[in-house]
């Protein structure tokens, strides 16, 4: 009897060309879904960034500070996308491009690097200490705020 019912339903499905859809029993665990992230592996020293700039290496310098902070001081040839806007504006960046992210002290830039890595941006690093450390170690003419 069960075979007959199964066959009838299968014939109906075949006749109406229904597609079978399989729904997973559960979502992946947080451990499986979230990429591991060690800030030390995704950080760059101000001196290394200076060498990259001096050598005219091809990379994007991404400022994730607020607009008002960027108006006070910024590094040359910076792309400004405040951290809170980054999820909406991520399409302005290239997955293939190397990206160095900076903020005031290096906290927001690490958050940005974490977000970008989750979205598939593999070549992203955060400037250690942000623009504040840059002004202390590399360029003292840069305004500190």
Within 10 angstroms of residue 114's Cβ, the number of other Cβ atoms is: 17
Q: How far is it, in rounded angstroms, from Cα 77 to Cα 61? A: 7
Cβ neighbours of residue 45 under 8 Å, at least 6 residues apart? 128
* CATH number assigned to the domain covering 37-137: 3.40.250.10
Average pLDDT over residues 131-143: 96
CA distance 115 to 85: 12
Nearest-CA neighbor of 44 among 117, 98, 86, 3? 98
Tell me the CA distances in angstroms from 35 to 32, 97, 114, one per residue in order. 8, 20, 9
pTM assigned to the model: 0.75
3-state secondary structure 60-79: EEEECCCHHHHHHCCCCCEE
Q: How many helices (H) and strands (E) does the chain have?
A: 7, 5
pLDDT in tens, 31-67: 666 667 778 889 999 999 999 999 999 999 999 999 9
Q: What DSSP assignment string belongs to 115-126?
A: HHHHTT--SEEE
Beta bridge partners of 131: none
Q: What tens digit of pLDDT does each residue of 69-124 get?
A: 999 999 999 999 999 999 999 999 999 999 999 999 999 999 999 999 999 999 99
């Amino acid at each position: 009897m069960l075979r007959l019912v199964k066959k009838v339903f299968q014939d109906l499905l075949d006749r109406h060309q229904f597609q079978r859809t399989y729904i997973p029993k559960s979502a992946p665990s947080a451990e499986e879904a979230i990429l591991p992230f060690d800030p030390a592996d995704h950080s760059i020293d101000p001196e290394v960034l200076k060498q990259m700039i001096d050598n005219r290496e091809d990379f994007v310098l991404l400022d994730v500070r607020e607009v008002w902070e960027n108006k006070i001081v910024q590094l040359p040839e910076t792309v400004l996308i405040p951290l809170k806007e980054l999820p909406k504006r991520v399409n302005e960046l290239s997955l293939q491009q190397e990206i160095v992210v900076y903020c005031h002290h290096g906290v927001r830039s690490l958050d940005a690097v974490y977000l970008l890595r989750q979205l598939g941006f593999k070549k992203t690093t955060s400037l250690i200490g942000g623009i504040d450390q840059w002004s202390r170690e590399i360029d003292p003419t840069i305004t500190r705020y």
